[in-house]
């Protein structure tokens, strides 16, 4: 039997409790997807819309992993985008930019088309702590204007920051109205329901034990098996399949969030009057936004050691109070965490293990939008259009050496390095 959703604000306010039965018996399908997070569900819905027969197998519950626990920020672009442009040439710059914002558009369209209630709001700000951060945001603003963002992008400096948040922690920031935030678990559950209504078969509490490769791979579980023309591995940080090929390419990084009690209108008017999502520029980030019922959701600095803090509240609350000391004494109603998939060079791993076995994982903190973009890329590839998946397959990835035996310690050492860089 699989695990229930982790105790979180999202689980406490989800719109539906899923009851998809475990797989029993043998099934035939066009596509079998292993994992019912954003990658698996977004791909399943895209394929179902195109008329494919799809089976989704989930070890626990739909949205059980990072897709149902993350910060809920929809951030266009993706980590590793600049690296890919440098390695592949400027001629792919427009395509990479399109991919980077495609997930935002897919989410916007689906929320409207399928009437998914997930508290979707537009408005996001990258903030600057140091002058070098502000210089980077000035450059980013120039690029957004070259991409015709117009009034959707605005750079604030100094005292102008008081318009959007009452804190002395930041010296500037860049507003991007094409980015935003939402309730991630409700989005994932809503998309799963939409895919199910279109004929997708979803099985929860169904762990995949093995994949028998061949012209039509066979995905084996304790209660049955799925024979399919194509298979997608969509476990991200919780991936445990095909590890002889995949081990060390993505490492699981811990990310943690707290939720305050609901704030008063006066408090909201100073802390986040425009109801935007915020993220700082450090390698070990802090981020925050308001929930629909006006709680401050504050999370961040990934713990790459793989160890869960003994108290998430004790780890995160001091950082929240450093930014917003006026919240001293506010009750913390929820605390939770989970694992995100991080790649050494930050470029997502979207490609093929075999001709008919695909992988999509390692979004390095941009999972909400990039899972949806990658779902479309995988669906295109299954349909024979390889242009975009080819770009990702051209990028070579390094493995974390001795990852199975010493990966956690080595990653922790690496993150100490990034923490020192943040402090400089």
Structural contact between residues 217 and 231, judged by C-beta atoms closer than 8 angstroms: yes
Q: Hey, is 335 helix, strand or coil?
A: strand
Is the CB of residue 379 less than 8 Å from the CB of residue 231? no
CATH topology of 9-69+185-250+345-409 equal to that of 102-183+253-340? Answer: no
pLDDT per residue as tens, the chain (424 positions) = 789 999 999 999 999 999 999 999 999 999 999 999 999 999 999 999 999 999 999 999 999 999 999 999 999 999 899 999 999 999 999 999 999 999 999 999 999 999 999 999 999 999 999 999 999 999 999 999 999 999 999 999 999 999 999 999 999 999 999 999 999 999 999 999 999 999 999 999 999 999 999 999 999 999 999 999 999 999 988 888 887 888 778 877 888 999 999 999 999 999 999 999 999 987 678 999 999 999 999 998 765 555 678 899 999 999 999 999 999 999 999 999 988 888 888 899 999 998 999 999 999 889 999 999 999 999 999 999 999 999 999 999 887 764 444 445 545 544 554 455 545 5
Residue ranges covered by each domain of the chain: 9-69+185-250+345-409, 102-183+253-340
Which structure tokens are listed for 120? 């979707």
Q: Is 386 helix (H, G, I), strand (E, B) or coil?
A: coil
Q: Which fold has domain 9-69+185-250+345-409?
A: FAD/NAD(P)-binding domain (3.50.50)
Task: Name which of 373, 179, 376 is nearest 289 in CA terms.
Answer: 179
Write the burial class of residue 63 (CB in 10 Å: 0-12 exposed, 13-18 middle, 19+ buried): buried
- Please state whether 306 falls in left (phi above 0), alpha (psi between -120 and 50) or beta: left
Cα 52 to Cα 43, 122, 263: the distances in Å are 11, 32, 46
The domain 102-183+253-340 is placed in CATH, from the list 3.20.20.70, 3.30.9.10, 3.90.180.10, 3.40.50.1100, at: 3.30.9.10
pLDDT at 345: 83
Q: What is the pTM of this model?
A: 0.94
Q: Are 66 and 299 in contact (CB under 8 A)?
A: no
Helices and strands counted in the chain (H then E): 12, 17
Q: How many CA atoms lie within 13 A of 99 on its CB side?
A: 31
């Amino acid at each position: 039997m699989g695990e229930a959703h982790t105790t979180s604000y999202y689980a406490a306010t989800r719109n539906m409790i899923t009851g998809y039965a475990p797989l029993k018996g043998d099934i035939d399908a066009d596509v079998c997807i292993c994992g019912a997070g954003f990658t698996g569900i977004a791909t399943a819905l895209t394929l179902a819309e195109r008329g494919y027969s799809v089976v989704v197998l989930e070890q626990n519950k739909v949205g059980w992993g990072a897709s149902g626990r993350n910060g809920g920020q929809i951030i266009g672009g993706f980590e590793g985008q600049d690296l890919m442009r440098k390695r592949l040439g400027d001629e792919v710059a427009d395509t990479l930019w399109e991919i980077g914002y495609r997930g935002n558009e897919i989410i916007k369209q689906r929320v409207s088309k399928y009437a998914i209630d997930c508290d979707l709001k537009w408005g996001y700000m990258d903030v600057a702590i140091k002058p070098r951060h502000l210089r980077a945001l000035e450059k980013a603003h120039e690029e957004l204007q070259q991409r015709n963002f117009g009034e959707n992008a605005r750079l604030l400096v100094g005292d102008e920051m008081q318009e959007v948040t009452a804190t002395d922690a930041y010296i500037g920031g860049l507003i991007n109205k094409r980015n935003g935030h939402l309730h991630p678990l409700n989005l994932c559950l809503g998309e799963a329901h939409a895919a199910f209504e279109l004929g997708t078969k979803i099985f929860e509490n169904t762990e995949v034990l093995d994949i028998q490769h061949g012209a039509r791979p066979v995905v084996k579980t304790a209660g049955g098996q799925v024979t399919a023309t194509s298979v997608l591995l969509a476990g991200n940080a919780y991936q445990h399949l095909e590890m002889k090929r995949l081990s060390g390419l993505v490492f699981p990084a811990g990310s943690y969030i707290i939720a305050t009690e609901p704030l008063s209108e006066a408090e909201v008017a100073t802390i986040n009057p425009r109801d935007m999502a915020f993220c700082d520029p450090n390698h070990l980030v802090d981020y925050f936004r308001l929930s629909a019922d006006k709680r401050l959701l504050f999370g961040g600095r990934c713990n790459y050691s793989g160890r869960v803090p003994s108290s998430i509240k004790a780890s995160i609350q001091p950082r929240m109070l450093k930014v917003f000391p006026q919240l001293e004494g506010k009750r913390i109603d929820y605390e939770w965490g989970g694992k995100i998939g991080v790649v050494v060079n930050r470029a997502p791993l979207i490609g093929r293990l075999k001709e008919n076995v695909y992988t999509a994982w390692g979004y390095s903190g941009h999972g909400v939008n990039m899972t949806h973009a990658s779902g479309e890329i995988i669906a295109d590839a299954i349909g024979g259009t390889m242009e975009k998946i080819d770009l990702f397959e051209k990028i070579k990835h390094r493995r974390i050496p001795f990852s199975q035996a010493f990966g956690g310690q080595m990653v922790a050492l690496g993150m100490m390095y990034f923490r020192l860089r943040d402090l400089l």
